[in-house]
Amino acid sequence: MDALRLDYARFLFEQKRAVDALHPLNEIVTHNPHNVAAWRLGGQIALSATEFLEFARDWTAEATCHVPDDLIVKAQRAEALMLSEDVASARLLWEKCWNTARQPQALAALVLCEAVAGAVAHKPEDNKDEIAASRAFIEWYQKLFAAQAQKTLMRVNEQMDVIAGALPTAAKMLTAAMAEAKKEAVGV
């Protein structure tokens, strides 16, 4: 029965009916709080739109209580915290994600959180990893912008030199984009 509800929730989400998709997932986790697939899909849905951010925080908090060792749930929780500007809490989770599975998205998020704190301790191991992590860093920056995380974005912008030490490609791209935006704003 859970598999059928999960498929139905996935179908509803694919049909752009995110809120409706959460109902069967809620039924699943209510009856089986250790159903990792339901928690993961719910987290994915909750993080799919900025207007669901508060719900994403609640969903991922509950998910980490029931499936605390699941890396995807942990990363979803870290993302919800970071987009909500609870960067200090997010950093701890991103570090665990990075230490468990060295994914560029986790490294980029960890560097971002560390930069907000003022010092970056983690860096990619080689040029290929730097490019992948820089690309992911830009994606995180865009998500923060969409979430209107102004305080975090301002701090990231202030720490561009620190970020350049770990992710020079991302720092160059963001610096160039900010210079272009400034030039356009002056020209208007």
**Residue carrying the six token digits 């994403």:** 56
Tell me if 156 is assigned to some domain: yes
In-domain check, residue 73: no
Contact 9, 22 (CB under 8 A): yes
Cα four-point dihedral sign 18, 39, 82, 53: positive
Model confidence at 187: pLDDT above 80: no
Question: Does residue 169 fall inside a structural domain?
Answer: yes
Distance CA 168, CA 162 (A): 9
Q: Which residues contact residue 20 at a Cβ distance below 8 angstroms, ignoring those fewer than 6 apart?
A: 12
pTM over 0.75: yes
Digit-coded pLDDT (tens) for 20-36: 999 999 999 999 999 99
Spatial separation of the C-alpha atoms in residues 67 and 150, rounded to whole Å: 31
Q: Is 174 exposed, middle or buried (0-12, 13-18, 19+ CB in 10 A)?
A: buried
Residue that the structure tokens 């987009």 belong to:
83
Residue 181 confidence class, pLDDT cut points 50, 70, 90: confident
Question: Does 146 reside within a domain?
Answer: yes
**pLDDT, tens digit, 9 for 90 and up, residues 73-127:** 999 999 999 999 999 999 999 999 999 999 999 999 999 999 999 999 999 999 8
- Tens digits of per-residue pLDDT, 9-68? 999 999 999 999 999 999 999 999 999 999 999 999 999 999 999 999 999 999 999 999
Q: Is residue 2 part of a domain?
A: no
Our count of domains for the chain comes to 1
CA distance 163 to 161: 5
User: Which residues constitute the domain of residue 106?
Assistant: 102-188
The answer to whether position 153 is within a domain reads yes
Yes or no: say if 87 and 116 are a contact pair by the CB < 8 Å rule.
yes
* 125 DSSP 8-state letter: S
Please name which of 59, 53, 104 lies closest in space to residue 82, comparing C-alpha atoms: 53
Amino acid at 167: L
- Tell me what pLDDT residue 1 has: 81
In-domain check, residue 142: yes
Question: Looking at the domain assignment, is residue 120 inside a domain?
Answer: yes
| pLDDT reading at 188 higher than 70 | no
